[in-house]
């Protein structure tokens, strides 16, 4: 459910005049597909100090983010490095697993988005991610429930209801209803 929403969010931000960089921590950097790891290496070697300006860039970031997560005592330094890489960008989005967001940004003043669809698997993985973000990271995500019109009419339980019932936590939720012909 999250990828179509991520692309629409990026497009909307670009249409509002922001430059957007998505650090995709689900994709590994390589020699043929360079990303955040190579940008960080270039900075350490005295080379490039920031990414090239573009309206919308998606960079592989799995190795770099995983490496940063392995050194939680340097969390502040890691976030500053990322901030220095993209000073001209209006928005930097980290697309990542919840446990890496907790390790890299836990306790910070950010509000992650947690996107779920009403499928059983999505609710279960979303609930696990919510618990990690809340309990381990002290982060309060906004839940985005992506549903089709048909699912919305059926009254499918959303993650916000599960959080209230089982964690005693009142979430901030956004319901996005897509027309029946579109992918949720």
Q: Are 141 and 110 contacting, i.e. CB atoms less than 8 angstroms apart?
A: no
pLDDT, tens only, 51-72: 455 678 899 999 999 999 998 8
pLDDT, tens only, 11-56: 999 999 988 999 999 999 999 999 999 998 875 544 444 445 567 8
The token pair at 22 is 């998505």
User: What distances in angstroms separate CA 33 from CA 60, 132, 156, one per listed residue?
Assistant: 7, 30, 40
pLDDT, tens only, 81-98: 888 887 666 889 999 999
Q: Are 65 and 25 contacting, i.e. CB atoms less than 8 angstroms apart?
A: yes
Give the predicted TM-score (pTM) of the model. 0.83
């Amino acid at each position: 459910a999250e990828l179509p929403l991520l692309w629409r969010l990026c497009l909307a931000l670009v249409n509002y005049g922001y430059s957007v960089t998505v650090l995709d921590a689900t994709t590994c950097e390589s020699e043929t597909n360079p990303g955040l790891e190579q940008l960080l290496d270039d900075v350490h070697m005295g080379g490039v100090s920031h990414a090239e300006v573009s309206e919308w860039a998606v960079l592989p970031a799995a190795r770099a983010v995983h490496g940063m997560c392995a050194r939680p005592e340097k969390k502040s330094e890691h976030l500053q490095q990322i901030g220095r890489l993209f000073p001209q960008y209006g928005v930097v989005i980290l697309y990542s697993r919840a446990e890496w967001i907790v390790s890299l940004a836990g306790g910070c003043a950010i509000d992650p988005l947690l996107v779920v669809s009403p499928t059983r698997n999505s609710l279960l993985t979303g609930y696990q991610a919510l618990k990690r973000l809340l309990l381990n990271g002290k982060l309060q995500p906004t839940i985005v429930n992506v549903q089709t019109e048909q699912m919305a009419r059926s009254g499918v339980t959303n993650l916000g209801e599960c959080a209230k019932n089982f964690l005693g936590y009142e979430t901030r939720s956004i319901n996005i209803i897509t027309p029946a012909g579109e992918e949720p």
